[in-house]
Structure 1
Amino acid sequence: MERVMKAALLYEGSKELIIREIEVPKLNSGEALIKVKATGICHSDLNIIDGVIKPPRYPHILGHEIAGIVEDFIPINIEEKRFVDTLFQETEGRVIVYFYIACGRCFYCLRGEDNLCLNFRRIGFEEWGGYAEYIKTPIKNLIPLPKTLNFNAAILVDAGATVYRALRKAKPLPGTMIAIIGIGGLGGMAIQIAKTFGAGVIAIDIIDEKLMYAKKLGADYTLNFKEIYCEDVYEIGKIIKKALDISYVDIVIDTVGSSST
């Protein structure tokens, strides 16, 4: 008898997620079955629901910020078996699921640049995601989750790791002034991480409530972008420095990525 699970399905033309019973995913070699304990709601999930981003097929299961427990696995080699065995010993099988699945065979993957994979798939986008009781994923995409971190906090790692990598590459020193544009999930994380580097933070957004939130997170300065917008990118820098009475901005982290930012 086939095992079934509950999942929240998005059907074409609908903006509602419908709970249905479907088959539990069957594993192939190199995959693990994860009992989902928590899944985040990212703005990209809302874009899929609104039709801004279209999945390759319907019905679709959203959710790419996933934490759970390994329930079953089929290792492709002895290294994968040892990895999962160690998981159970150290974390009782608790994991975070990395949603980006690289092919491992293309030009970039063979160079160790799998973030540029030409044939990538993403859990919650091209593949079914974590708005379900179970999900399957490549064993190589499992990240050990310490017992000291709860599942609800673990799903924030997706946003946190994104801005942490950007800040680590920027190499801020104590006293560095960092402007962070867009105070959503990524921007909020960026503020907190930037402060651990000893940096000063300028939080920039177009919504005053978000700027108030930025202050609570530790931002040294806040600025409503609507009050300083200018077509000339070089002039904006001067306007920011004058408005905040500061002499320099060393690093800019743009979490919005639009033409206006």
Structure 2
Amino acid sequence: MTNSLMKALFLKKPYKLELKNTNIPVLSQGEVLIKVNAVALCGTDIHAYHGKQGLFEYPRIIGHEISGEIVEMNAKQKKLRIGDRVAIIPYINCGHCISCNKEIYGACENLKVVGVHQAGGLAEFIKIPVDNLVKLPQNIDNLNGALVEPLAISTHAVRKANPKSDENILIVGMGPIGLGAAEIAKTFGANVILADLSEERRDFVSKRFDYKNILNPLAVDYRKQLAELTDGNMPDTIIDTTGSNKSMESCFKYLSYGGKVVYVGIYNGDLVIDDIEFHKRQTRLFGSRAAQKTDFEYVIGCIGKGLVKPEKFITDKLEFDQNIVKNINLVMDKGLSAFKTLIIFK
């Protein structure tokens, strides 16, 4: 490229963002240079901003929910070309550990995440391995393209449960991943029940989406409500996205016999479960991390068919300009009311 510098937003340390010029990445073999079109802020970015993301390495260009356009290639392949718009798969696996050999790439022993362990998307350009790109069709715009990644995380969790039509799924935690799981579960024909402690979150979802069964897990009749909604059988699957040990430990007593539990949110510590409740149900327990390329492709198909509408998640839009530090600081202070923030590049 004629210009060797780009603008990038660095998280220098907790609460300290800095917009500065830095070198445009130089491509190695197998890599592609992407002009960033849009980035969605994720819980990972927010936790890193507040100093509560244990895996994060400072300083770092943040952002891993990214859509962009290919502007340079150093890779031999036939599916993509310069000018294609793409969604980025931000998980860089080693390709040779036991998990990669099993094609379970999200469990790679040496997994690196864009925007956490290496430079992220809040920059004018980013380099990515060509295998970590999924082409966006014309009917998916740049903003929706940036939301493919969180929806792929949700899809991966739902696919772990592999629900059948008319199964009852309880999704605990109504943040973007939990709500995304609800939207994806509906494409499987599942009956979705949502639960969240936050009245603000419950109100947001009830106003923007068409879910009838939105519960407060602290309600004294919570178990009774679940029983009534499932003909007394309790949910066939519980997907817990909270990362709360209390929520994760309590799942089993609200589960149907022969049911499944999927942990998506991560708790940094030990979990203590009631083994009697776990065993007598012959519970199937899954951990869900990251997403596969097939999950990204499924999401793109759902958006293209109008089955999932990511734009309904968006509450805030910012431009990547000289005011970006001030504006992101303001969004970070909004708390739950900033459900999904998109940064738009010119």
TM-score above 0.5 = yes
Give the distance between the partners of 1:168 and 1:53, measured in 2 at CA.
26
Deviates more, 1:111-120 or 1:35-44: 111-120
**1:26–1:125 distance in 2 versus 1, CA, 3 Å:** same
**1:22–1:120 distance in 2 versus 1, CA, 3 Å:** same
State whether residues 87 and 149 of structure 2, in contact with CA within 8 Å, keep that contact through their aligned partners in structure 1.
no
Give the distance between the partners of 1:182 and 1:56, measured in 2 at CA.
23
Question: 2:6 maps to which residue?
Answer: 5
Give the distance between the partners of 1:146 and 1:105, measured in 2 at CA.
32
Question: 1:32 maps to which residue?
Answer: 32
Of 139, 149, 152, which aligns to 1:161?
Answer: 152
Q: Does 1:116 align with 2:112?
A: no
State whether residues 191 and 219 of structure 1, in contact with CA within 8 Å, keep that contact through their aligned partners in structure 2.
no
Q: Does 1:217 align with 2:209?
A: yes
Matched ranges for 1:136-175 at <5 A:
136-175=127-166
Percent identical: 33
Give the distance between the partners of 2:201 and 2:120, measured in 1 at CA.
29
Question: Which letter maps to 2:217?
Answer: F
State whether residues 66 and 147 of structure 2, in contact with CA within 8 Å, keep that contact through their aligned partners in structure 1.
no
Give the distance between the partners of 2:243 and 2:58, measured in 1 at CA.
28
Give the distance between the partners of 1:69 and 1:228, measured in 2 at CA.
51
Deviations 1:185-223 (A, max 9, x none): 012112222223332221100012222333342323121
By how many angstroms is 1:83 displaced? Answer: 2.8
Of 76, 82, 88, which aligns to 2:78?
Answer: 82
Deviations 1:68-127 (A, max 9, x none): 00111111xxxx332333xx5xxx411111000011122221232222211111100000
Question: 2:17 maps to which residue?
Answer: 17
> TM-score, normalized by length of structure 1?
0.85
State whether residues 195 and 218 of structure 1, in contact with CA within 8 Å, keep that contact through their aligned partners in structure 2.
no
Q: Runs of 5+ in structure 1 lacking a partner?
A: 230-235
Question: 1:126 maps to which residue?
Answer: 117
Runs of 4+ in structure 1 displaced over 4 angstroms?
A: 54-57, 242-246
By how many angstroms is 1:51 displaced? Answer: 1.0
Give the distance between the partners of 2:167 and 2:54, measured in 1 at CA.
40
How much is the aligned-residue C-alpha RMSD, in angstroms?
2.2
Deviates more, 1:106-115 or 1:139-148: 106-115
By how many angstroms is 1:241 displaced? Answer: 3.0
Give the distance between the partners of 1:10 and 1:71, measured in 2 at CA.
26
State whether residues 31 and 74 of structure 2, in contact with CA within 8 Å, keep that contact through their aligned partners in structure 1.
yes
The 3-state SS of whatever aligns with 2:158 is helix
By how many angstroms is 1:225 displaced? Answer: 1.7
Q: Does 1:250 align with 2:246?
A: no
Of 246, 271, 294, which aligns to 1:260?
Answer: 246
The 3-state SS of whatever aligns with 1:225 is coil
> TM-score, normalized by length of structure 2?
0.65
Give the distance between the partners of 2:150 and 2:56, measured in 1 at CA.
24
**1:178–1:111 distance in 2 versus 1, CA, 3 Å:** closer
Question: 2:304 maps to which residue?
Answer: none
Question: 2:330 maps to which residue?
Answer: none
**1:50–1:58 distance in 2 versus 1, CA, 3 Å:** same
Give the distance between the partners of 1:165 and 1:97, measured in 2 at CA.
16
State whether residues 88 and 149 of structure 2, in contact with CA within 8 Å, keep that contact through their aligned partners in structure 1.
no
Q: Runs of 5+ in structure 2 lacking a partner?
A: 248-346
Question: 2:87 maps to which residue?
Answer: 96
State whether residues 9 and 18 of structure 1, in contact with CA within 8 Å, keep that contact through their aligned partners in structure 2.
yes
State whether residues 191 and 218 of structure 1, in contact with CA within 8 Å, keep that contact through their aligned partners in structure 2.
no
State whether residues 61 and 132 of structure 1, in contact with CA within 8 Å, keep that contact through their aligned partners in structure 2.
yes
By how many angstroms is 1:257 displaced? Answer: 2.8
Question: 1:59 maps to which residue?
Answer: 59
